[in-house]
Amino acid sequence: MSDLDDVHRDDEPLARALKRAADAAGRATLPEPAAVVAARGLRRRRRNLAAAAACAVCLLAGSGAALGLRLQQSGPVPPASVPTYGSPSPADGSGTPSYAPPPPSTATPSGSPTPSFPPPPPPPSPSPSLSVSLSVTPTTPHR
């Protein structure tokens, strides 16, 4: 307890000296009138409100523009694969084919390069009967 008292006794001159210095500094200042401080506070509040309103407007405008762009981009989508038949301009990939491509069937459509008449007979080849007869005829009687 005596140590604590000693500490407090030591602190008192220090506290007095510091308070004296603070009072001297406070007396040396010339503070602005309270009305000026209030006016500055009012201006500051208005500035903060204006900044907050501008931020809100920018945020709303930005989200509206982003939403508009997104809606504009969601139109007709080109097909994932380019159709092989029936497309008037398959290169650009726009539009859908007017009719479905014909199924790959065995029936030949008219105008196709496949001939409709039977093929001509093949040219005559040496008949096997002649060869046989030739091979048989050289029989001569032996006398």
Partner 1 sequence: MTDDEFEEFYAHSVKPLVGQVYLMTGDLHEAQDVVQEAFVRAWGRRGGLDRGAGPEAWVRTVAWRLAVSRWRRGRRAAEAWRRHSHAHTAEAPAPDPGTVALVDALRGLSDRQRRVAVLHYVCDLSVDQVAHETGISAGTVKTHLSRARAALAPRLQEEEHGV
Residue closer to partner 1, measured from CB, 42 or 59: 42
Taking residues 49 to 88 in sequence order and writing x for each that binds partner 1 by CB under 8 A, - otherwise, the string is ----------------------------------------
Here the tokens at position 68 are 């508009």
Spatial contact of 99 and 86, defined as CB atoms under 8 Å apart: yes
Window contacting partner 1 (CB under 8 A); options: 30-38, 101-109, 116-124, 133-141: 30-38
Listed in sequence order, the residues at least 6 apart from 97 whose beta carbon sits closer than 8 Å to its beta carbon are 83, 85, 86, 87
How far is Cα 42 from Cα 53, in angstroms, rounded to an integer? 16
Name the one residue in this structure whose structure tokens are 């380019």. Answer: 82
Interface residues toward partner 1, by CB under 8 A: 10-11, 13-15, 17-19, 21-29, 31-32, 34-35, 37-38, 40-42, 44-45, 48
